[in-house]
Amino acid sequence: MLWLSLKEREVDPLKERFLQGKPLGLPLYDIHGHLGGFSRDYPVFSGRVEQLVAEMDRLGVKRCLVFPIGIYGAEFQFQNDKVIQACQKYRQHFSGLALVNLNYPEKEIIKELERCRQAGLVGAKLIAAYQGAPAEGPGIEAVCEYASHHRWVVLNHGWGSLEFLKKILETYRQAQYVCGHLWLAAASLVNKYDHLWMCTCAFLSPESLPEAVRTMRADRLCWGSDLSDLHWGFTLGPIVLSSLPLKVKKRILSSNTRELFRKIGVES
Ligand SMILES: [Zn+2]
């Protein structure tokens, strides 16, 4: 009905703008992105930083939490340097996380984190499974202890078990923690711990987003684009086009991640 569609336009301009291919008119904050373009494991042929920044500006993405693309072996310093350079050049767009190889001795892991912290990075990215490292190993605890000491953020591709994540949250309490991919089973932890955040990326089934909204506290669910190998539309679409209330969409796309940036000392 015409009346209904007009009414809907009044209450959800995001959906209308998205379907017209326009920027949403909302400052977007992105909790999950990769920089670096080419790596041995994961080449992204259109991932030049300048291109990404131009597209972020066009779409109204104000700031993105970024880390290297790939998994890394021995070249993590080289890849972290790419993130450091991008964050230093585009301070208004990016806040960076250091990626370390969890198979390395703890001493080497901490040395690289310290090097990256001195260069301005604000946290660590973990991806143990892809490195063939234990999902709940001592290297992860060493990273979280360091992060807690410096009030960093730690984004993990997967936290292993709920028990392990609970132990991290209770032991290393001064850091902020992010589930890098939507993990519905962790809802009870999200609701209990202030310093745990949930990313929406990457694939959202029709049921998963409403369930996340229904089961998790409203201020911890955060949009993640997984740039630069996915276009922003791939991850924005399921949120913007959903039947969730406009105020919920705005929280997920904007104010929640902005609050995370504030908590780690990044004004944006
Ligand atoms: Zn990713």
| Residue 2: inside a domain | no
| String of DSSP letters for 137-159 | -HHHHHHHHHHHHTT-EEEES--
| Residue 9: inside a domain | no
Strands 221-222 and 153-156: unpaired
Question: What is the extent of the structural domain holding 143?
Answer: 27-263
Kindly give the distance from the C-alpha atom of residue 21 to the centroid of ligand 1, in angstroms, as a whole number. Answer: 24
| Residue 236: inside a domain | yes
> What does pTM read for this prediction?
0.93
Kindly give the distance from the C-alpha atom of residue 128 to the centroid of ligand 1, in angstroms, as a whole number. Answer: 13
Please give the tally of structural domains in the chain: 1
Kindly give the distance from the C-alpha atom of residue 201 to the centroid of ligand 1, in angstroms, as a whole number. Answer: 8
| Residue 19: inside a domain | no
> What pLDDT does residue 231 have?
85
Kindly give the distance from the C-alpha atom of residue 32 to the centroid of ligand 1, in angstroms, as a whole number. Answer: 6
Q: For residues 138 and 164, is the Cβ–Cβ distance under 8 A?
A: no
Kindly give the distance from the C-alpha atom of residue 154 to the centroid of ligand 1, in angstroms, as a whole number. Answer: 14
pLDDT digits (tens, 9 = 90+) for 131-155: 999 999 899 999 999 999 999 999 9
The helix (run of H) or strand (run of E) holding residue 99 is: strand 94-99
| Residue 12: inside a domain | no
> Of the candidates 76, 27, 86, 28, which has an alpha carbon nearest to the alpha carbon of residue 52?
86
Kindly give the distance from the C-alpha atom of residue 72 to the centroid of ligand 1, in angstroms, as a whole number. Answer: 14
Q: For residues 81 and 46, is the Cβ–Cβ distance under 8 A?
A: no
Kindly give the distance from the C-alpha atom of residue 187 to the centroid of ligand 1, in angstroms, as a whole number. Answer: 21
| Residue 22: inside a domain | no
Rounded to whole angstroms, the Cα distance separating 194 from 181 reads 18
Kindly give the distance from the C-alpha atom of residue 1 to the centroid of ligand 1, in angstroms, as a whole number. Answer: 41
Alpha carbon separation from 215 to 5, 149, 198, 210, 245 (Å, rounded)? 29, 31, 12, 9, 15
> The domain that contains 75 carries what CATH number?
3.20.20.140
| Residue 21: inside a domain | no
Kindly give the distance from the C-alpha atom of residue 193 to the centroid of ligand 1, in angstroms, as a whole number. Answer: 23
> What pLDDT does residue 36 have?
84
| Residue 65: inside a domain | yes
Kindly give the distance from the C-alpha atom of residue 118 to the centroid of ligand 1, in angstroms, as a whole number. Answer: 24
Tens-binned pLDDT, residue by residue, of the chain (268 aa): 445 555 544 579 999 999 999 999 999 999 999 998 766 666 666 668 998 999 999 999 999 999 998 777 778 899 999 999 999 999 999 999 999 999 999 999 999 999 999 999 999 999 999 899 999 989 999 999 999 999 999 999 999 999 999 999 999 999 999 999 999 999 999 999 999 999 999 777 888 999 999 999 999 999 999 988 788 999 999 999 999 999 999 999 999 999 999 999 998 7
What are the two backbone dihedrals, phi and then psi, of residue 149, each rounded to the nearest 5 degrees? -60, -35
